Structure 1
Amino acid sequence: MIASPSFAQVAAVAVGATTGAWLRWLAGLWLNSKWAGFPLGTLLVNCAGGLMIGGLLMWFERTPNELLRLLLVTGLLGGLTTFSSYSGESLILLQRGHWALALGHTAAHVLGSLACAAVGYNVVKALLPS
């Protein structure tokens, strides 16, 4: 049975996620039109999220704080970028010596996300009137 989360846990995730999503949106507004249509803002937040989750994984390994982890990792980085979660998971697999699994995990996320984006695009395109 799954325990019910406390109000503090729910609030930490909600505040972090709201802030992360807001920051991602602002980065897109600021940078996505600057470089010939390349989504530079998205790349920036994805790289920043990967960098931050690496640092936070180490930080929380040394100084565990579940509520702060929920705020920063699950909430903020989850809202900022979907890359951060899988980057952290892949890093843990690598640190444990599971090289093939880490490579497969990474490839599945990148190729899976790209494939899903293409499928979603084409399904909606097919459903919309010409």
Structure 2
Amino acid sequence: MGSVLALCVGACAGAVLRWRLGLWLNTPGALLPWGTLAANWVGAYAIGLCMAFFQSQPQLDPVWKLAIVTGLLGALTTFSTFSIEVVTLLQQGRLALAGGVAALHLTGSLVLTWLGLKTLG
């Protein structure tokens, strides 16, 4: 039961954080959905940091990793929202912008995950 509770608390916090980022940064008429990009980039860097940290602290209860990495960061980062935003741009005929948004999310997330690992690793 402790694992389920930890996962739920982390996921709830991550979902609220993602929602708040969207409210704050996804302004109507903006060129990009900045809130989704921020959620994915912050989450990518944070998961790198967390994985390096948890690898260096094997004595920690695994429930912390479950709550933070799977719960909080899993709910914070959002491939489904990113996907619908890119598909919407494609449907609008904005092919270059759709490709740019996809490249920003993928490249930025990969680089930031790597940086997160290197920061503590």
Q: Could you state the TM-score of these two structures normalised by the residue count of structure 1?
A: 0.57
How far apart, in 1, do the equivalents of 2:69 and 2:52 lie? 12
Between Structure 1 and Structure 2, how many residues are aligned? 83
Greater RCO between the two (CA within 8 Å, min separation 6)?
2
Counterparts of 1:114 and 1:27, CA distance in 2? 17
Say whether residues 1:47 and 2:37 are aligned partners: no
Structure 2: gaps spanning 5 or more residues: 92-121
Match of 2:75 among 79, 102, 112: 79
How far the C-alpha of 1:36 sits from its partner, in A, is: 1.5
Q: 1:75 to 1:37 in 2, by over 3 A?
A: same
The amino acid of 2:66's aligned partner reads L
- The 3-state SS of whatever aligns with 1:36 is coil
Letter in 2 for 1:39: P
Say whether 1:38 aligns with 2:58. Answer: no
Secondary structure, aligned partner of 1:33: coil
Q: Paired residue for 1:59, among 26, 29, 53?
A: 53
1:22 aligns with 2:16: yes
Q: Give the letter aligned to residue 63 of structure 2.
A: L
Distance (whole Å) between structure 1 residues aligned to residue 78 and residue 55 of structure 2: 21
1: CA distance, partners of 2:56 / 2:13: 25
Question: Can you give the 5+ residue segments of structure 1 that lack an aligned partner in the other structure?
Answer: 1-6, 84-112, 123-130
Larger radius of gyration: 1
- Aligned residue for 1:12, secondary structure, equals helix
Aligned to 1:10: 4
Compute the displacement of 1:37 (Å): 4.7
Q: 1:68-118 CA distances to partner (integer Å, 9 max, x unpaired)?
A: 0011000000110146xxxxxxxxxxxxxxxxxxxxxxxxxxxxx849x74
SS in 1 for 2:66: helix
After superposition, the Cα gap between the structure-2 partners of 1:31 and 1:114, relative to the gap in structure 1 and judged at 3 Å, is closer
Query: What is the alpha-carbon distance in structure 1 between the residues aligned to residue 30 and residue 76 of structure 2?
Result: 23
Q: For the residues of structure 2 that align with 1:31 and 1:37, how far apart are their CA atoms?
A: 11
Residue 63 to residue 38, structure 1, CA distance change in 2 (3 Å): same
